[in-house]
Structure 1
Amino acid sequence: MGTMSKNRFSSGDGPSQRQLRVGELIRRTLSDVLNRADIHDPELNRMSITVGEVRCSPDLKVATVYVMPLMGSVKVEEAIAALARNKHELRRHVSAQLTLKYAPDLRFRPDGTFDQLDETRRLFADEKVRRDLDQPEADDEDDA
């Protein structure tokens, strides 16, 4: 059973190990650059932006970067606009770290996982949901 769930991710549907590896490298690089305020844009450097995840297209030509400003320091739209304005400089930093032929095109999107985490916590706090979770599963749908 343990191997079944593992295979689901390495099948053709999910991202390849290479996509995941490149995405994580881009995520770390962008996080470092933003933390060190290496970009020549005072407005961007004033923002505290978390890079939650980077997903690469199968050909590694496009990297979608999921970001969220820390503690509502600025609106997420403003953070994304500032990142997009500095895309070329950010891309240069990324390409310096990557051994790929082409630096991927960077696309910035709001990271919705933060909202989802809050929603999940709220659901778990809900008494009825907790009771349902304590019930043993009647029919296991994993086999479908």
Structure 2
Amino acid sequence: MSRANQGATQGAPAKRKPKRAPAGPTQRQLRVAEEIRHLLSAIFLRGEFRDPALSDIQVTVTEVRISPDLKNATAFVTRLGRSDVDLIVPALTRAVPYLRSELAKGMRLRIVPGLSFQPDTALEYAMHVEDLLHRPDVLRDLKSD
């Protein structure tokens, strides 16, 4: 019997690690995502875009989520006080090469993640829930308990 097999018993199943539920993002993911959010906000504040669809717009980056391998990032954007953020997402997608080059100047990563943009609908959803909770029939049901 070889040394590698001395401790193993014949026919015994190998011990397996129990599978864990997927955890949230790591500290590194959170740190990199927050750095990307700050840099994108600064770029949008400067407003140095060649695309006429992006000139004179104010975009707020509410959140950035990054993949575990730090190669892809999704930025959630909104325009405060306006609901036409869906119209500027294609223009932001066209500006991704410029935005990645600007991120490369401000980040200390070897590889700058790919960017994609999504409209942030969390505020509209919260306002919808708030409206539902203030409806007379819902208030009546809440007070009857």
Is the 1:69–1:79 contact (alpha carbons within 8 Å) kept by the matching residues of 2? no
Off by >3 Å, runs of 4+ in structure 1: 126-133
**1:112 counterpart residue number:** 121
Q: Report the alpha carbon displacement of residue 57 of structure 1 after superposing the two structures with TM.
A: 0.3
Give the secondary structure class of the aligned counterpart of 2:54. Answer: helix
User: Could you say which structure has the larger radius of gyration?
Assistant: 2
Is the 1:123–1:129 contact (alpha carbons within 8 Å) kept by the matching residues of 2? no
**2:34 counterpart residue number:** 24
Q: Report the alpha carbon displacement of residue 37 of structure 1 after superposing the two structures with TM.
A: 0.5
For normalisation by structure 2, the TM-score amounts to 0.74
Q: Provide the C-alpha distance between the structure 2 equivalents of 1:130 and 1:25, rounded to a whole number of angstroms.
A: 46
Give the aligned length.
124
More helix by share: 1
Is the 1:49–1:79 contact (alpha carbons within 8 Å) kept by the matching residues of 2? no
Select 1:53's aligned residue among 30, 49, 63: 63
**1:101 counterpart residue number:** 110
Gaps of 5+ in 1: 1-10, 136-144
Q: Report the alpha carbon displacement of residue 129 of structure 1 after superposing the two structures with TM.
A: 6.0
1:65 aligns with 2:75: yes
Select 1:35's aligned residue among 26, 42, 45: 45
Give a deviation string over 1:29-86, Cα, whole Å, max 9, x none: 111111111223232022211111100000010000111123227x222210110111
Gaps of 5+ in 2: 1-20
Q: Cα RMSD over matched residues?
A: 2.4
Is the 2:71–2:111 contact (alpha carbons within 8 Å) kept by the matching residues of 1? yes
1:14 aligns with 2:24: yes
- Classify 1:103/1:122 alpha carbon distance in 2 versus 1 (closer, same or farther; 3 Å): same
Give the secondary structure class of the aligned counterpart of 1:45. Answer: coil
State the percentage of identical aligned residues: 37
